[in-house]
Amino acid sequence: MFKQSIVENFKDIKDSALANVRDAALEFVIAVLIFLSVYNGVFRTAIISGESMEPTFSDSQRCVVWVSAYWFKEPKRGDVIVFPSPGDKKSKYIKRVAAKSGDEVDFKNGAFYVNGEKLKNGETSFIGSYSLPLIVPDDTVFALGDNIDASRDSRDSSVGCIAQQDIVGKVVFRFWPFKKAGVIN
């Protein structure tokens, strides 16, 4: 009886130890997969510089960019995107998609219109260097800063419509400062 009890306890300890090793190995594999996905470009971080996206983002705030967001789908109006700065491909711009391929962008009475609908926060005295109305070319987006009077964006011919293949990714989360952390809609 005593011998059988020892054998049963040993078997329970062995099963428990194997379960712990299996759980630890699974946790390790998940951690490695998360690290590799972040390291290999599924997500990146970005630091906001300037006031062109106020009030949504302020200078020095930090956010997460989902690099693979547009691998299988197109950007939507309202998405906040990151793309290379014209003339300095190492620097990046962050702007909001105002119009996508095939949309008509126009400027009337101090406001921007997309397909005849007035944009929120689209009132400005700066039209840009395009002749309007403009039909957004295929496979591109027209992007504006939320702080439209302080933004260098698609209105400027040096920026222009952004080719979808040049979009680095979609901003999905602000993580700094902590008190403003949250998902970006």
Q: Both tokens of residue 146?
A: 């939320």
β partners of residue 107: 112
Query: In angstroms, rounded to a whole number, what is the distance separating the alpha carbons of residues 55 and 48?
Result: 12
By DSSP bridging, strand 134-135 and strand 104-108 are antiparallel
β partners of residue 125: none
131 is catalytic: no
Q: Both tokens of residue 42?
A: 């599924």
174 and 182 in contact (C-beta within 8 Å)? yes
Q: Both tokens of residue 98?
A: 């105002």
Query: In angstroms, rounded to a whole number, what is the distance separating the alpha carbons of residues 96 and 128?
Result: 16
Query: In angstroms, rounded to a whole number, what is the distance separating the alpha carbons of residues 132 and 39?
Result: 42
Vertex 45 angle, CA 167 and 178, to 5°: 130
91 is catalytic: no
Query: In angstroms, rounded to a whole number, what is the distance separating the alpha carbons of residues 47 and 86?
Result: 18
Kindly name the residue from 92, 95, 100, 170 that is annotated as catalytic.
95
Kindly name the residue from 14, 49, 52, 180 that is annotated as catalytic.
52
Active centre residues (catalytic)? 52, 95
